[in-house]
Chains A and B, each alone.
Chain A
Amino acid sequence: MELLLRSGVTVENLLDLEADTYRGTPFEKSLLDAWYTGVFKPDGSSEIRSFDTTLMWRAAGVDPPPSTCSGGPESWASPPSNI
């Protein structure tokens, strides 16, 4: 699971994961959840294993994620340019 988390997956890669191939098994859901949120849950515990590569930021137009510099004071006055 951890190797998969760190495999460099992008939002664009996952766009191919459509309903005809995705069955929503618990494993698939936990993998998607981990890719999107960065939360990895070995043995029922909850740990953050990735932050800046977490897909939810990119999906939400927050790229780079919070706590990382992303531009100057004008940058939030217009929509994100990479969406």
Chain B
Amino acid sequence: MAEQSDVLIVGAGVAGALMAWRLAGAGARVTVVEAGPHVDRGAALQRFERSAVRVPEAPYPMAPYAESPATIGDSYIRQDGPDPFRSTYLRQVGGTTWHWLGTALRLLPSDLELQSRYGVGADWPLRYSDLATWYDVAESELGVSGHDDDMFGPPRQTPYPMPGLPAALGDRLMAQSAGRLGFKVRVSPQARNSQPFDGRPACCASSSCIPICPVQAKYDATVHVRKAEAAGARILSESVAVRVDVGPDGRVTGLLIRKPDRSETRLETRHLVIAAHAIEGPKLLLMSRSERFPKGVANSSDAVGRYLMDHPVQLTKALAPVPVWPRRGPQEVSAIHELRDGDHRRHHAAFLMNIGNQGWEWAGPNLAALAKGFVDAGLSGSELLNAVRSHASREMTLVALTEQLPDPVNRITPDFDRRDVIGVPKPRVFFRLDPYTATALAAARKTHEQLFHAIGATDIGHLPHAEGAGHIMGTTRMGTDRGKSVANAEGQSHDHPNLWFAGSSLFPTSGTVNPTLTIAALALRTAEAIKSAIKQ
């Protein structure tokens, strides 16, 4: 008979790692299966430095048995919709936290009540007060640096675990003029150490948060993978989940995993947690279709895979009137929050404006292309040096993350006609931006121009398309209406009482901040519910 776990978790990213640590620490027999491999930080750093194109996934070799989307030349996701879905993610132990930026903002209370306050989108099945305590715990676990006296949103119940980080020079320049437009520049809370914390060093200003922090001053989920293992959890890497099994009583009984050599093993469990991000998680459920469940597991609502959301990004670049010396320190340090909430949400999406501190590396041309351009133009000697220095030292960006409404046509499904090397269907995605978000993108362009004009910037230019933020949300959403959602407020499947979800796939709406801190808070909250269920 196969070995049985109390809790089997699919995915060793931030949600899965935190739950594994929490549940194993409570005495549960926990197994985590992760499609991808373990990552060696030193090897990843070397790979990053050798990369001709330093995209977020550059340090991480893609395992053929655990493919993931590529920023350039992607062949993993089949794009079906009118707008390309541009976000990527990593399948490896630690998940996408390997290359997240580290900003650790909370959602606003209104973000969870979009329908009842503004008549659009949906409400969450829980309120901010249900999450506040778990945000506190999440901030302690991830290690968040923040300024207690400079928050946008509800007052904090507890101080941040660490003092806040200093503003970058570009932030300070922007702050001098933003007030005239009714805005305030605030240093963002970040899961990045401002002092040694939890055995990890303070930020050393390597300015490579995306794609890799060389010293783990920025939190990544391998922190809690290690803690989970120390608490007794078993981590099975290079193990691709391919089918969820359900017994005649409607309870999940186990999971079939496939190894790189195509061998298969069935794992039995009392509780199953899907913590495999908002693309691979629903794909697994939809792949698990059968005669009894023709729409897939946990999908009586037909909502699995639907309501896919991102934070479409409006990126605007400019040259500051004076040097602000970017590319030193975190790639974004501060942000402007005022348009995250307000009555405008009845008509167009809210947005958060981050102030970039990485030059034009994302907006382009990057530094190498800039230098090459000056060389090609015939510059040399001090002329070349001064040209590179003058331009690079003044490069600024504003990066607006816009809210996207949940739209059932935006969805991920398994592409049964396209399979990877071990025979697992690749994803196909239908994605479109609606006028609610498109109007906000236009508003962001206008506001960015006002902010840049206010500081006397020149060479202002907008990226002509909305970039993906890498914030993939909404495909197994929670809700009170069983006909339109997949899970309840505890992350528990409506259809199968011992099937749970953890991660941004649970989000009914997106808000405007990166999802990681909320993922962590929800996962810790769901772990408590599972603990109670195990005892019953």
Query: What is the interface of chain A, defined by CB distance below 8 A to chain B?
Result: 11, 14-19, 22, 24, 28-29, 32-33, 36-39, 46-48, 51-52, 55-57, 59-62, 66-80, 83
State the main secondary structure of chain A at its contact with B.
loop
Determine if A69 and B52 form an interchain contact, defined as CB atoms under 8 angstroms apart.
no
Give A14 to B385 CA distance when docked, in angstroms.
9
Determine if B214 and A69 form an interchain contact, defined as CB atoms under 8 angstroms apart.
yes
Determine if B165 and A36 form an interchain contact, defined as CB atoms under 8 angstroms apart.
no
Q: Count chain B residues whose beta carbon lies closer than 8 angstroms to a beta carbon of A.
A: 50
List, in ascending order, chain B residues with CB within 8 A of A71's CB: 204-205
Task: Flag whether B359 is at the interface (Cβ < 8 A).
Answer: yes
Determine if A46 and B52 form an interchain contact, defined as CB atoms under 8 angstroms apart.
yes
Give A74 to B145 CA distance when docked, in angstroms.
14
Determine if A19 and B381 form an interchain contact, defined as CB atoms under 8 angstroms apart.
yes
Task: Flag whether B277 is at the interface (Cβ < 8 A).
Answer: no
State the main secondary structure of chain B at its contact with A.
loop
Given A46-B52, A60-B388, A67-B212, A72 contacting B203 (CB threshold 8 A): yes
Determine if B169 and A77 form an interchain contact, defined as CB atoms under 8 angstroms apart.
yes
List, in ascending order, chain A residues with CB within 8 A of B169's CB: 76-79
Stretch at the interface among B241-249, B324-332, B343-351: B324-332
Determine if A56 and B214 form an interchain contact, defined as CB atoms under 8 angstroms apart.
no
CB-CB contacts of B511-523 with A at 8 A, as 1s and 0s?
0000000000000
List, in ascending order, chain A residues with CB within 8 A of B372's CB: 33, 36-37, 39
Task: Flag whether B50 is at the interface (Cβ < 8 A).
Answer: yes
Query: What is the interface of chain B, defined by CB distance below 8 A to chain A?
Result: 45, 48-52, 165-169, 194-195, 202-208, 212, 214-215, 323, 325, 327-330, 333, 357, 359, 367-368, 370-372, 375-376, 378, 380-385, 388-389, 392-393
Determine if B327 and A67 form an interchain contact, defined as CB atoms under 8 angstroms apart.
no
List, in ascending order, chain A residues with CB within 8 A of B381's CB: 14-19, 22
Determine if A60 and B367 form an interchain contact, defined as CB atoms under 8 angstroms apart.
yes
Determine if A24 and B380 form an interchain contact, defined as CB atoms under 8 angstroms apart.
yes
Across the A-B interface, the 4 shortest Cβ-Cβ residue pairs: A76-B329, A69-B204, A60-B392, A77-B166
Give A76 to B51 CA distance when docked, in angstroms.
25
Closest B residue to A56 by beta carbon equals B371
Given A33-B375, A48-B50, A52-B49, A68 contacting B380 (CB threshold 8 A): no
Determine if A48 and B205 form an interchain contact, defined as CB atoms under 8 angstroms apart.
no
